Structure 1
Amino acid sequence: MDGVTLAVARLQSTSDQQDPLSYSPIAAAATTVVPPEQGAVWACPQPEYDDGLITWTLGGALLGRIHLSGRLDRMPDRRRALVKDAVDVYKSIRGDVAGALPFRPLGLPGWTDEWLAPGLRTPGDATAYLSVWRRGGPARLRIPVRHPAGGALRVDVPHPWAPDAGGAVWDGEGPTVSQPRTPGVLLIRLGQEP
């Protein structure tokens, strides 16, 4: 991933890693070398994955350029619906991903970190997105993120849609994220109240 290649290629695959649990630190660090709108992050849900692993696999690709693969044709309808929901969320935010600047409130990810939280800030700090992965450790974590653009703040979780997926609340210094299961992933959006 050198600058000359990135200057002429529209896409750059971030990895050929097949294990979704191992892909998360790669995806979390990819924006150190490739812009998010150019970095192809593979999401390869498989029919044998449970709902949580399918959500994890898809959630990790939402702040990059999602590249969907896997045996979707062999999935039951419920799991295909999880894929559709994630792709719909990606379509709704991809305009923000292009031109957004990366930030890492938990620092650069380590290969075995229990929590990972790469983020993107839109121009003018109107909106920030965090992709928060929990691979272990406590079920709650406060993530130090400064308030985007000041004013009243809205915090929501566009992905996943499951009622038991966890959530996030703003405590004045950053979102406190609850993620009851591992592996677990949340896409958190921070923005101005309308």
Structure 2
Amino acid sequence: MDYNIEPGIGTEQNAENAGDGLLGHEHAYTAWLDGVFARYPDLIIENCSSGGLRMDYAMLSRYSIQSTSDQDDYRKYCTIAANAPLALTPEQAAVWSYPMYGGDREQTVFNMINAMLLRIHQSGHLANIDEQSGALVKEGIAIYKKIRRDIKTALPFWSLGTSSFSDEWVSLGLRCEKCAYIAVWRRESAEDVAELPIKFLAGKNAEVSCIYPSFNEERFEWHKESGKLAVQLRNPCTARLFKITFAD
């Protein structure tokens, strides 16, 4: 629902004051929206809210998809993606993935991982990207379809803390009943290794696998006693998605 108006303080038309008028406008809008969903219960509408600038539960309680940003730099979008579960449920958080024409495979992977623990908004000139990038998009979507049932019941965690645009490493994790997923992004860091504390797994046996991309050549290691996952990403502007399986 893409209608990016700025209502200001409201209206005094048929209202006691501007605030009363604004509230009346909001109630009229949500009543109309409820009517739409009552007539078309299978209809899916995305709440744009000016590229995710406005998120409130009058809207989030009704829309199943919420735009998170209009950011067009995929290297910055990972910060928005990592922080999105602070404002809304992961399965609602729509993240644009837009592999660009002429980009290499790591750019495609970075784009896909931005969205894979949230809600994929697939975009980009897919008809024009090369065969390798197209295959990576298909692979990412296939993996997403396998894990999305877990996403809607998972709880987010932040091994590296919530993200800032200046952070050289970024991470978002989702904790499920018997496994966890963790996305790791390296931007322009001079260091090629990051240690990610996962406190709820400290002292536990865990099996770690890189589930995307399949060509993964990076090194990673689980340190049981400290509860840390060490990940090496050898090149800047790369990302990987891991699955951690653990016992109850």
Q: Which category describes the TM-score, using the shorter chain as reference length?
A: over 0.9
2:28 is matched with none
Distance 1:95 1:149, change over 3 A: farther
CA deviations 1:131-168 (Å, max 9, x no partner) are: 1000113101111113549753110010111243x232
1:170 is matched with 222
Percentage of identical aligned residues: 35
TM value normalised by structure 2: 0.73
2:213 to 148, 155, 160: 160
1:129 to 166, 169, 181: 181
* Residues 1:112 and 2:201 are matched in the alignment: no
Amino acid at match of 1:128: A
Query: Following TM superposition, where does structure 1 have runs of at least 4 consecutive aligned residues deviating by more than 6 angstroms?
Result: none
> Which runs of structure 2 are paired with 1:1-194 in the superposition (5 Å)?
1-122=55-176, 124=177, 126-135=178-187, 136-148=189-201, 152-164=205-217, 166-172=218-224, 173-192=227-246
CA deviations 1:75-97 (Å, max 9, x no partner) are: 22222111111111111111111
Corresponding pairs, count = 191
Q: Provide the alpha-carbon RMSD of the alignment.
A: 1.7
TM value normalised by structure 1: 0.93
CA deviations 1:85-138 (Å, max 9, x no partner) are: 11111111111111211111111101110000111111x3x1111110001131
Question: Greater helix percent: which structure?
Answer: 2
Which structure 2 residue ranges, 5 or more long, are not aligned?
A: 1-54
Amino acid at match of 1:121: R
Amino acid at match of 1:144: P
After TM superposition, give the deviation of residue 176 of structure 1 in Å: 0.5
In structure 1, distance between residues paired with 2:113 and 2:85 = 16
Amino acid at match of 1:141: A
Query: Which SS does the other structure have where 2:106 is aligned?
Result: helix
Query: Which SS does the other structure have where 2:147 is aligned?
Result: helix
Distance 1:163 1:109, change over 3 A: closer
In structure 1, distance between residues paired with 2:89 and 2:190 = 30
